[in-house]
Amino acid sequence: MKPATFTTKIDVNLAPKLKNDLEEKGFSLTNPPYTIFSAKKKGITLVLYKSGSLVVQGKNKDEFIEFYLEPEILKTFSYTNPEAFISMTSRIGVDESGKGDFFGPLCIAGLYADEKGIKELISLNVRDSKKISDKSILDLANILKAKFKIAVVRIFPEKYNELYLKFKNLNKLLAWGHTTVISELFEKTSCKNVIIDQFANKSVVESAVKRKGLSIHLEQRTKAEEDPIVAGASIMARAAFLKGLEELSSQYDQKLPKGASSFVIDIGRKIVEKHGPEALEKVAKLHFRTKDAILNGD
């Protein structure tokens, strides 16, 4: 399913051609603030901003993009044929979940796919786990686990807190987790191409990879979940986090919420009241300021 809004960048020198073409196609044009123009006709609205950002909306936008905008203006077909612009090179993708959640484990997952696997990920509409419901995450994770080579590291709070004291830095702990997953999948596949979502200065993970003795080609990029393999890894990591949170909830007979909100503080106080302050070490990441709010009433 295509997104409701399509956004891209164009060379503003193309604005006159775009404007003329739209007028010929029966669009009505106006000039709202900060725009070069806005164009509208039944089923389609376009806004071209002075920055070169072009936004297209409306129920008829897909046909307009496919038959006019891409061939005439953009000269690419990544919207109507995204597979053509996704590398089919075999690679390992890695992502994490639980980093921003007070309760529950930190989970890092990796997924390997070759060309056939990449096409399957695309056909499954695998995407960033943050855009998928929890139920769909768990369903998709079961499918991926059956079809792909996977590695998952779940660091439950007790171990997490121990490692945090050792590393004294969350990014170093994450780098250790990422390289552990990469190493496991490298052993399974011999694949040297690795892509991860960049979460720190590139040198942090590069140093961890070097210490591990891994000879790989590592790509770190922001928004790496746009790559279907990293998106698959993000789904596996999120599923591992959700299951881990559920396990801890059952163990302490208290549903543990996601995030680090005021509601999380309320639940944390219930845990302390029922099981004592030492229980937080078993269910929560203690370097969060949330811990002080729970224990000191801040």
Is residue 298 scored above 70 in pLDDT? Answer: no
Residue 237: CB atoms within 10 Å: 30
Q: What gap in Å lies between CA 176 and CA 96, rounded to an integer? A: 12
Q: Which two tokens stand for residue 238?
A: 């999120």
Mean pLDDT rounded to a whole number for the chain:
92
Lowest-confidence range among 67-71, 76-80, 82-86, 201-205? Answer: 82-86
Q: What gap in Å lies between CA 25 and CA 40, rounded to an integer? A: 10
CATH superfamily name and code, 91-247: Ribonuclease H-like superfamily/Ribonuclease H (3.30.420.10)
* pLDDT more than 90, % of the chain: 80
Q: Tell me the sheet residues that pair with 239.
A: none
- What is the distance in angstroms between the CA of the first residue and the CA of the last residue of the chain? 46
Note the pLDDT tens digit of each residue in 222-254: 888 889 999 999 999 999 999 999 999 999 999
Note the pLDDT tens digit of each residue in 170-193: 999 999 999 999 999 999 999 999
Q: Which CATH number fits domain 5-84: 1.10.3720.10, 3.30.310.10, 3.40.50.2300, 3.40.50.11440?
A: 3.30.310.10
Note the pLDDT tens digit of each residue in 18-50: 999 999 999 999 999 999 999 999 999 999 999
268-296 burial, b for 16+ CB within 10 Å, e for fewer? beebbeeeeeebbeebbbbebebbebbee
Contact 222, 199 (CB under 8 A): no
Note the pLDDT tens digit of each residue in 105-133: 999 999 999 999 998 998 888 988 888 89
